[in-house]
Structure 1
Amino acid sequence: MSKKTIPRIYDKAGKPVKVADKSWYTLQASGEAEQRSIEIFVYGEIGAWGVTANQFVLDLRAMDDGTSPIIVAFNSIGGDLFDGLAIHNALSRLGERCTGRIDALAASAASVAVCGAHRVVIAANAMLMIHNPYTFSGGDAEDFRRVADVLDQTLEAIIAAYKSKAPDIDEVELRRMVHAETWLTANEAVELGLADEVGDGLKVQACLGQGSVLQRFQNAPAELLAQLDDEPETEPTEPVDPPAPVLDAAKLALMVTQGCAAAGISNLVEPLLATTKLESEAVIQAALTKAKALHSLCVAARLPELTGEFIRAGLDEAAVRARLFDKLVGKGGGFEIDNSLPLEDDPAPAIKAKQADPQAIWASRQAAQNGTSKGART
């Protein structure tokens, strides 16, 4: 029997793309002759909160046979620049076998990544966004000078990535557009050489549940932001059976315990019992799903001990990400380059001067005076 094998790699962040068996990799039999192709979906953020370059390369290596055509579909607001550059280089090494496809949006680091493909097809209603690298940091004047130098260097890496795809592009104009945060339509991207072909338009919900992040950019098109208010399309609901009788408290508590054990989060039993108040099976299932997601975020940030605290506080995933980011930045253990921008309501980093210690000052003065008096009597 002839087979067309379509392995798919999905981003863990946001809502997954619908697939029949809800798995990352699916096999589909079709076609007259045997042909194998690989289709990869990068839908969501790039980096620690979504699909990392390491995960991408390992999954691709496991599926690639060295001869099959590869299509990499993007719908991403970007994220970590260095992961985007690594994905760019991984696609570039595939040569002519690789086609990049922009299904809705390739912004920021995603625009860098897709330009590594030999051929880029952008949907007629999709967009590609380019802008300067961005980061958070802390420290003294020398630290900030060093960070500025690194940002200048990473900008050169971004320019090189775009010029590898469009070698004839005017570099002065390219730098101007990057500095201005430029949103390119499909035709504009093709005209500049950052894409090769305009494909059929698709209706894809903005960034699969992460569209609100678009508000962090300064020049996001109004028509794109308007999609954030669209109600998601839902399939007609079928009649449902009457609700099952409410379980007693002991069975609900056992459900929490068993659910946590199965997910490897037994340390979260107590906060889940406290926050769900064992109201119903539906409440507990929702709380378990949320706890798994928050635990994954905390593990990614290497702060798993904070998960229980966030659950007790009733924080959602967006709030937890913000708290974890503040924790990581506050550690002062260096910085990471990320060419995504903060939300407008993100607090500005506080700069605290060292507070004076009156008691220490008084003690040092007294010691100095005592020393002077003793010297005079000698």
Structure 2
Amino acid sequence: MAIYDEIGAYGVSAKGFLSELGALPEGTPVDLRLNSPGGSVFDAVAIHNALKRHAGPVTVWIDGIAASAASYIAMAGDEIVMPENAFLMIHDPAGLVMGTAEDMRAMAEALDKVKGSLVAGYAAKSGRSPEEVSALMASETWFDAADAMAQGFADRLVEPVRIAARFEISRFRNAPPVLVDAIETEPENDDDTEGASAEATDEADQVADSEDDQDATSDAPQLPAEAPPPSGAPPDPAAIRSEAIGHARAVIDLCRLAGQPQMAGRFLEQDANLEEVRAALLAAKAEAEPEIAPHHPQPGRSSAARPWGEIVARTFKPKG
């Protein structure tokens, strides 16, 4: 099993992970490959608890980074293995809230409770006191593999490996410079780069041949050929992935605001642009019938109400 993404709705969700874990036969040993910048603490807690309930042994391999919520998932391992160039980070949970002072206080209380749960998990694995763990979280502490081993957050060191996935870690205030440099300078796969370069060269040659043919066959004005990219370089996979994630998030947010979160998957499968998504959501809203719950009083006369004429006739019966 592997978690090579953010934790939560935009990456590996608790629902998806638990479904995969539940499909394993009872008692199956689990090797979890972990490389994640974190994400939703609630999804992480659910994944952590599911791994702790699993009947078989659980080995967590931190292949690159286990930061924030991902580090809490790592604590579910019976054994935590870290290459010498891997990192683990723990910090206080954070959240966003907008509202009154009471809303702010409620959020602060919720974050305190979440932190208490996380402290217990880190302390149980490392053997350190809750007070020590709480202080480490408050200062956003990064551990390299040797530090994690010394502090009790890892059980075994192995040979360094190449960091297999790159993440945006500028949101963390204490990210180690060596990790930032490693992520920023990590080269793409050489084979993929060579293949893409060869394809780009072939396309450039084809364009050149086409232009030569046009010059040789006719002096009549021709439509301008589409120019290749100035550099001839292949598109950046990281930029493409970032753009795709941003589009998916925008679609999901629009569907949530419209009260139609279930429609997001269909839009993403159809590769609909944002204008098409907005138009479809407006159409769905226009066609939807208002949902009226019977236990909420509605304006106007109830359908069960009797006409006043009938009430008067029954109350004041004519004499004789």
How far apart are 1:229 and its partner, in Å?
Answer: 2.6
CA distance 1:237–1:118, shift in 2 (3 Å): same
Q: Is the 8 A contact 1:73 1:101 kept in 2?
A: yes
Structure 1 runs not aligned, ≥5 long: 1-39, 246-278, 313-378
Matched with 1:46 is 7
Matched with 1:223 is 178
Q: Is the 8 A contact 1:121 1:198 kept in 2?
A: yes
> Deviation string for 1:93-148 (max 9, x for gaps)?
12551101111110000000110111111111111100000011100111101111
TM-score normalised to structure 2 length: 0.64
Correspondence list, 1:52-201, <5 A: 52-62=13-23, 64-166=24-126, 168-201=127-160
Inter-partner Cα distance in structure 1 for 2:65 and 2:245: 25
How far apart are 1:192 and its partner, in Å?
Answer: 2.1
CA distance 1:290–1:156, shift in 2 (3 Å): closer
CA distance 1:182–1:242, shift in 2 (3 Å): closer
Q: Is the 8 A contact 1:95 1:117 kept in 2?
A: no
Q: Is the 8 A contact 2:47 2:73 kept in 1?
A: yes
Correspondence list, 1:5-24, <5 A: none
Matched with 2:214 is none
Alignment root-mean-square deviation, CA: 3.3
Q: Structure 1 residue runs of 4+, over 6 Å off?
A: 279-283, 288-292
Inter-partner Cα distance in structure 2 for 1:73 and 1:158: 21
> Deviation string for 1:211-250 (max 9, x for gaps)?
xx211111100111112331514226255584368xxxxx
How far apart are 1:293 and its partner, in Å?
Answer: 5.2
How far apart are 1:69 and its partner, in Å?
Answer: 1.6
Q: If you compute each CA radius of gyration, which structure gives the higher value, 1 or 2?
A: 2
> Deviation string for 1:54-109 (max 9, x for gaps)?
111112222x1123321001111000001111111111112551101111110000
Inter-partner Cα distance in structure 1 for 2:84 and 2:67: 16
Inter-partner Cα distance in structure 1 for 2:120 and 2:166: 31
Matched, 1:202 2:161: yes
Matched, 1:237 2:194: yes
Structure 2 runs not aligned, ≥5 long: 208-225, 257-263, 278-320
Q: Specify the SS of the correspondent of 1:187.
A: helix
Correspondence list, 1:256-267, <5 A: none
Inter-partner Cα distance in structure 2 for 1:98 and 1:75: 16
Inter-partner Cα distance in structure 2 for 1:310 and 1:92: 45
Q: Is the 8 A contact 2:27 2:56 kept in 1?
A: no
Q: Which structure has the higher relative contact order (CA within 8 Å, separation 6+)?
A: 1
Matched with 1:26 is none
Q: Is the 8 A contact 1:48 1:300 kept in 2?
A: no
How far apart are 1:289 and its partner, in Å?
Answer: 9.0
Inter-partner Cα distance in structure 2 for 1:137 and 1:231: 36
TM-score normalised to structure 1 length: 0.55
Q: Is the 8 A contact 1:77 1:105 kept in 2?
A: yes
CA distance 1:294–1:77, shift in 2 (3 Å): closer
How far apart are 1:297 and its partner, in Å?
Answer: 2.8
Q: Is the 8 A contact 2:120 2:130 kept in 1?
A: no
Moved more, 142-151 or 96-105: 96-105
Matched, 1:297 2:246: no
How far apart are 1:280 and its partner, in Å?
Answer: 9.8
Percent identical: 32
Moved more, 296-305 or 89-98: 296-305
